[in-house]
Copies of this chain bind each other. A is one copy, B any other.
């Protein structure tokens, strides 16, 4: 049988097979399809592998089988909370299974995305999870030519490359505005940062809702390509106030901006929601415990990641899901920050929105 061990001292499949008294190929089968073995051999191989502490060499397996057990995940940002939730779902779903996750970060560049996809695809991944539906034409055709299952996440669209899971950012944006309109607000501002495709579609939802209500006014809008932050929320809000001092409510494309707006209101002694309603997006954890509690559009990010990975793995293993496109929906979490005059009036008849609310007097900042 020649050498017993590889020079590195590693246990190979051949050693396991020898100890179990079977051929290497039978031992190999044990790891890929245990049911194909007779019970006797199965237990013999199993205990031999355990005894020797055998760990399969993935490189050899990949080379021989001409496929890897790698799931590629292409996301635009590692910083954004949104994606860390999605990622957590993906990792949770893949945990314990045979597939390993390979992450790539496009930093919101579709050219970078194209490069990364080319790299991934060249390694024949078992499956791919990509963010959104706005790939370059080249990326799109690479994806369509790919032999592995693919899940597009975060958004919905009419022609999925393969599978798709997400929700309509357009509808979510509309719903946020519909809620504010129901609450009786008319001059509703829009605060947008980074303006990636998904933010863009929320923006379109805002525009549609405002136009339908005949309330659209470009002065109500402040956007920037700059990356989002709470501080930026305060800055943009200040700009918005300058542009449209009569504003009654703000829809922020994410919760960081909303938090910044809340703080800016506190700084300027603008009562929320009496003089300014605030609605955020994503419903991060802190929104519910802010003072006042901040309304936000809840999205199912963890579930999105989890389901995407689950669907993908099922598809890899030949069990394609019934529905190729899954809408995870969203929910407007109505909280105090968007309580409108209409509602307020019901509860406290009289001079609502007219009270002179005093905020705590604050010493000037120290740094």
Contacts from A to B (Cβ < 8 Å) = 8, 55, 57-60, 62-63, 66, 68, 78-79, 81, 84-85, 87-88, 91, 100-103, 105, 118-119, 122-124, 229-231, 233-234, 256, 259-260, 263-264, 266-267, 271-272, 285-286, 288-293, 333-336, 339, 343-344, 347-348, 355, 357-367
Q: Which of B81, B100, B290, B348 contacts A263 (CB 8 A)?
A: B290
B-side contacts of A59, CB under 8 Å: 58-60, 62-63, 68, 123
- With contacts A78-B88, A358-B359 known, what are 4 further pairs, Cβ within 8 A? A79-B85, A272-B360, A291-B362, A358-B360
A363 touches B334 (CB 8 A): no
A85 to chain B, nearest CB (A): 7
B78 touches A366 (CB 8 A): no
Residues A102 and B102 in contact in the complex (CB < 8 Å), given A360-B358, A366-B336 = yes
A365 touches B293 (CB 8 A): yes
Residues A79 and B68 in contact in the complex (CB < 8 Å), given A62-B59, A289-B231, A361-B355 = no
B-side contacts of A79, CB under 8 Å: 84-85, 88
Report, nearest first, the 7 A-B pairs whose CB atoms are least far apart. Answer: A59-B62, A55-B122, A230-B286, A266-B291, A357-B360, A358-B358, A231-B289
List 14 contacting pairs A-B, 8 Å CB cutoff, sorted by A.
Answer: A8-B66, A55-B118, A55-B119, A55-B122, A55-B123, A59-B62, A81-B81, A88-B105, A230-B289, A263-B291, A293-B366, A334-B367, A343-B366, A357-B360
Query: How many monomers of this chain does the complex have?
Result: 2
Residues A367 and B88 in contact in the complex (CB < 8 Å), given A55-B122, A286-B259 = no
Residues A229 and B259 in contact in the complex (CB < 8 Å), given A68-B59, A122-B55, A339-B363 = no
B-side contacts of A231, CB under 8 Å: 285-286, 288-289
